[in-house]
A and B are shown apart, each in its own frame.
Chain A
Amino acid sequence: MPELIDLLNALVLMTNYVILPALTYGSQLALGALGVTLVFGILRFSNFAHGDTMAFGAMATILVTWWFQSMGISFGPLPTALLALPFGIAVTALFVLGTDKFVYKHYRGIGAKPITIVMVSVGVMFIMNGLVRFIIGPSDQRFADGVRFIFKAREFKAWSGLSEGLALRSSQVITIVIAIALVAALFWFLQKTKTGKAMRAFSDNENLALLSGIDPDKIVRITWILAAVLATVAGVLYGLDKSFKPFVYFQLLLPIFAAAIVGGLGKPMGAIAGGFIIAFSEVAITYVYKKFLIYLLPPDMEPDSLVQLLATEYKFAVSFVILVLVLLVKPTGLFKGKVV
């Protein structure tokens, strides 16, 4: 039986390398998946441009952040990017509304097949992708400032006397807090306000909603604005936590879609659950368990290999396998998503 101190060390190790990163990453994925799911529920297509909308929103925010920083405006211990976030959201929302007006609206009018609209979103994806690289370039951008750690691994060790350290980065706390606040606000909006109720009605049964006098243009507008808010916030939080690189945002499309589909497309609750399922499996499967097992197992059973289920490079495989498994067992996702 391992001693209590070893158990505690193992627990701290897990929290530091698996639980905290997965919670943060899960929150970012959940916000992204919420955007995908909202667009799917109301506009009824899979938006391939969502990853690049996140990149666009993050880019807009970064530009404003740099402007603020050059003027000497800061947000105290918090990153300046949070101050710039509303401006980033506004720019992204305007851009997204513009794409709707000039691109998507036409296809709604002619009643195009969903797959055609998906193809159209690929065109929008190309343009946003090019635009982001054109304006800010394809390389890594760091824009985080303010206090980086709430407490460091060394401080934790000194405080607790354990041999394992636990670091809490401020970006992790910011991500989780903002995600909770945003999701709460979104659910309050969808459940309690008249517009939110109209949106849900529109998503459940479009014809019935139209017959009851719901203005479809307004619903579509609100949906795009919400998608822009969610995408920008998710993009900025991801950038603060890791770093901003346009191509990485494009690749986020896969886990985000996986999260939305696993939860059931069109179901906000499902998108959140899906986000955390994907994030936790990704982090847990690519984690190296050697040290963790050394704490728990008796000395003669210590593993000599790394005990890593899958190399980190294959993290896409994790989202994919979960996606396929869920679809095979429960084709509409865990929360009974909709079918177009």
Chain B
Amino acid sequence: MNPLTNPTLRPYTVFGIMAALLIFVGTTQSWGVSLTIINMCIISAIMTLGVNIQWGYAGLFNVGIMGFCALGGAAAVLVSSDPVAEAQSAGGTGMALALLSLVGGCALVFILHKLWGTRPLRKSVTFIAALAVYFLARHFYDPASAAIEAVNPAKTGFLGGLGLPVAFSWLVGGLFAAGAAWLIGKVTLGLRTDYLAIATLGIAEIIVALLKNEEWLTRGAKNVTGLDRPVPYELDLQQANWFIELVTKFNADLLSGLAGDERSAVLKSLVMDASGIFVKLCYAGLFLAVLLILFALAQLALNSPWGRMVRAIRDNETAAGAMGKNVKARHLQIFVIGSAVVGIAGAMMTTLDGQFTPGTYNPLRYTFLIWVMVIVGGSGNNLGSILGGFLVWFIWIEAEPLGNWMMSVVTSGLDPASELRNHLIGSAQYMRLMVMGGVLLIVLRFSPSGILPERSGHK
């Protein structure tokens, strides 16, 4: 049995290769680097899982991943940062009124639109009513946001959050993304695939623009730093006796040959290194648990009658519709579920970073890179998506040092002061974009179903 072609062995083989790559980085670069990559790999894998639910299960082309990811990040801020009482008393009521008039007004406009029936000027009346609602909401919103942003703008200047544990925000991030996806799906899912793609591209830009500019909500471009952590801090660990004992036990051989000052100096540096790795391991454990739960759920869903129905809809919408399946409702459901998974991953990523920086969301990195992961891993196959998340993130990170190294080899014959050489070395970081494009094109051309192709029962 060839371990690469046999469909049962193949996942073990490719995941084994992936593990070997990560271990290789661990031994040659450092374990800290390797663990950093692994943590982001897991988060990427969760995002990829979400996109795979949409694309692999149901064939929905969503290019708004960045938006859902950013919403998850916003959830992390809103759940975990401490409430700013002063700002809430300054503008909380105004904001609540603005929100109320917006929601209530929209409901009223909707009812008016229904009740107007076939009377003349229906569209104009609805439009004017909607405009009135907009101005009413702005009437409350403008002073409230100004008041909130004026409260200690250098440090807070926003409403703050709930002050709850940050891990709780992973759930909330999922809910935020699900809510947004429901709204967007309601409007755009009836459209053709290309149109859906453009619409989601736009939504993502709008969500990020909102998070960047609404300073009263998430401090916008001023960023929120120093978010809560679900794991211990390195500094606390370095003081903790149990941790120092643990490090001593692990390095007993090394330390036994030393004594006095030398021993305590070596121990100190060992504890420093170990505390960083320990924190990353804690994150990795938490993330892995989330990934495994989501993977199990996704697998169960895919192999259930529901999963078969969804795939039937994907393969032939007309036939599935003729069999009485509600195509539009299933699409909406899938869109919401997949986006929720992306939202969870977005919240986890902000937790890992410890800060929320809306300015860094960029569609190449947060939307299209995830797409490369899905395609490379194998659309329709959850295990493949996870592999894609790991492998592509690994390449994305390692392409930069590789590009630098390649450039210095290529330019080694040039005069070190020459402009061309400096330019080439300076631009080496953009090699990774080309590498990603190349990987995507090669996979699409020579192995369109990805590394781990979809497996359906009847094949």
Binding site for B on A (CB under 8 A): 45-46, 103, 106, 114-116, 118-120, 122-131, 133-135, 137-138, 247, 250-251, 253-254, 257-258, 261, 265, 305, 311, 313-314, 316-317, 319-320, 323-324, 327-328, 331, 339-340
The 7 closest A-B pairs by CB, nearest first: A130-B433, A126-B437, A320-B202, A127-B437, A130-B434, A123-B440, A123-B441
Q: What is the distance, in angstroms, from B354's C-beta to the closest C-beta of chain A? A: 26
Contact with A along B396-437 (1 / 0, CB 8 A): 000000000000000000000000000000110011111111
Task: Say which residue of B191, B199, B432, B445 sits within 8 Å of A320 (CB atoms).
Answer: B199
Q: What is the distance, in angstroms, from B361's C-beta to the closest C-beta of chain A? A: 12
Task: Say which residue of B199, B206, B438, B444 sits within 8 Å of A314 (CB atoms).
Answer: B206
The answer to whether A323 touches B434 (Cβ under 8 A) is no
The answer to whether B431 touches A134 (Cβ under 8 A) is yes
5 contacts between A and B (CB under 8 A): A114-B194, A118-B194, A120-B444, A126-B440, A133-B433
A residues less than 8 Å from B436 (CB atoms): 126, 130
Residue among B187, B430, B432 having the largest count of chain A Cβ atoms under 10 Å: B430
Q: What is the distance, in angstroms, from A306's C-beta to the closest C-beta of chain B? A: 9
A residues less than 8 Å from B210 (CB atoms): 314
The answer to whether A254 touches B209 (Cβ under 8 A) is no
The answer to whether B441 touches A328 (Cβ under 8 A) is no
The answer to whether A328 touches B437 (Cβ under 8 A) is no
Task: Say which residue of B212, B368, B431, B445 sits within 8 Å of A122 (CB atoms).
Answer: B368
A residues less than 8 Å from B230 (CB atoms): none
For the complex, count residues of B whose C-beta is within 8 A of A: 45
Whether a CB of chain A sits under 8 angstroms from the CB of B198 is yes
The answer to whether B209 touches A314 (Cβ under 8 A) is yes
The answer to whether A118 touches B61 (Cβ under 8 A) is yes
Nearest CB to that of B131 among chain A residues? A309
The answer to whether B191 touches A331 (Cβ under 8 A) is yes
The answer to whether A123 touches B444 (Cβ under 8 A) is yes
B residues less than 8 Å from A331 (CB atoms): 191
* Known contacts A130-B437, A311-B213: A327-B201 contact under CB 8 Å: no
Distance in angstroms between the alpha carbons of A124 and B206 in the assembled complex: 25
Task: Say which residue of B209, B362, B372 sits within 8 Å of A313 (CB atoms).
Answer: B209
The answer to whether B213 touches A122 (Cβ under 8 A) is no
Nearest CB to that of A45 among chain B residues? B194
B residues less than 8 Å from A135 (CB atoms): 427
Interface SS of chain B: helix, strand, loop or mixed? Answer: helix
Distance in angstroms between the alpha carbons of A46 and B213 in the assembled complex: 31
Task: Say which residue of B201, B427, B431 sits within 8 Å of A137 (CB atoms).
Answer: B427
Q: What is the distance, in angstroms, from B254's C-beta to the closest C-beta of chain A? A: 45
Distance in angstroms between the alpha carbons of A323 and B362 in the assembled complex: 22
Whether a CB of chain A sits under 8 angstroms from the CB of B195 is yes
Q: What is the distance, in angstroms, from B360's C-beta to the closest C-beta of chain A? A: 13
* Known contacts A127-B437, A133-B427: A122-B203 contact under CB 8 Å: no
Task: Say which residue of B193, B198, B209 sits within 8 Å of A258 (CB atoms).
Answer: B198
B residues less than 8 Å from A328 (CB atoms): 187
Task: Say which residue of B191, B197, B427 sits within 8 Å of A118 (CB atoms).
Answer: B197
The answer to whether A115 touches B193 (Cβ under 8 A) is yes
B residues less than 8 Å from A122 (CB atoms): 368, 371, 440
B residues less than 8 Å from A125 (CB atoms): 368, 437
The answer to whether A339 touches B192 (Cβ under 8 A) is yes
Nearest CB to that of A319 among chain B residues? B202
Nearest CB to that of B221 among chain A residues? A313
The answer to whether A261 touches B198 (Cβ under 8 A) is yes
B residues less than 8 Å from A129 (CB atoms): 364, 433, 437
Whether a CB of chain A sits under 8 angstroms from the CB of B375 is yes
Whether a CB of chain A sits under 8 angstroms from the CB of B105 is no
Distance in angstroms between the alpha carbons of A127 and B363 in the assembled complex: 15
Distance in angstroms between the alpha carbons of A167 and B434 in the assembled complex: 42
A residues less than 8 Å from B142 (CB atoms): 305
Residue among A131, A254, A311 having the largest count of chain B Cβ atoms under 10 Å: A254
Task: Say which residue of B187, B206, B371 sits within 8 Å of A119 (CB atoms).
Answer: B371
Whether a CB of chain A sits under 8 angstroms from the CB of B276 is no
Whether a CB of chain A sits under 8 angstroms from the CB of B205 is yes
Distance in angstroms between the alpha carbons of A328 and B187 in the assembled complex: 8
Q: What is the distance, in angstroms, from A92's C-beta to the closest C-beta of chain B? A: 17
Nearest CB to that of B433 among chain A residues? A130
Whether a CB of chain A sits under 8 angstroms from the CB of B161 is no
Nearest CB to that of B442 among chain A residues? A123
The answer to whether A323 touches B198 (Cβ under 8 A) is yes
Nearest CB to that of B192 among chain A residues? A339
Nearest CB to that of B364 among chain A residues? A129
The answer to whether A131 touches B444 (Cβ under 8 A) is no
Q: What is the distance, in angstroms, from B311's C-beta to the closest C-beta of chain A? A: 16
Distance in angstroms between the alpha carbons of A129 and B434 in the assembled complex: 8
The answer to whether A130 touches B194 (Cβ under 8 A) is no
* Known contacts A134-B427, A135-B427: A317-B194 contact under CB 8 Å: no
Other A-B contacts than A46-B198, A114-B193, A320-B206, 19 sampled, CB-CB below 8 A, are: A114-B194, A116-B444, A119-B444, A122-B368, A122-B371, A123-B437, A123-B438, A124-B437, A124-B441, A125-B368, A126-B436, A247-B362, A313-B213, A314-B210, A319-B202, A320-B202, A324-B188, A339-B192, A340-B194
Nearest CB to that of A332 among chain B residues? B192
The answer to whether B434 touches A120 (Cβ under 8 A) is no
The answer to whether B433 touches A314 (Cβ under 8 A) is no
The answer to whether B195 touches A261 (Cβ under 8 A) is yes
From residue 196 to 238 of chain B, which have CB atoms closer than 8 A to chain A?
Answer: 197-199, 201-203, 205-206, 209-210, 212-213
Whether a CB of chain A sits under 8 angstroms from the CB of B83 is no
B residues less than 8 Å from A131 (CB atoms): 434
The answer to whether A324 touches B445 (Cβ under 8 A) is no
Contact with A along B161-173 (1 / 0, CB 8 A): 0000000000000
Task: Say which residue of B205, B363, B441 sits within 8 Å of A120 (CB atoms).
Answer: B441
Whether a CB of chain A sits under 8 angstroms from the CB of B448 is yes
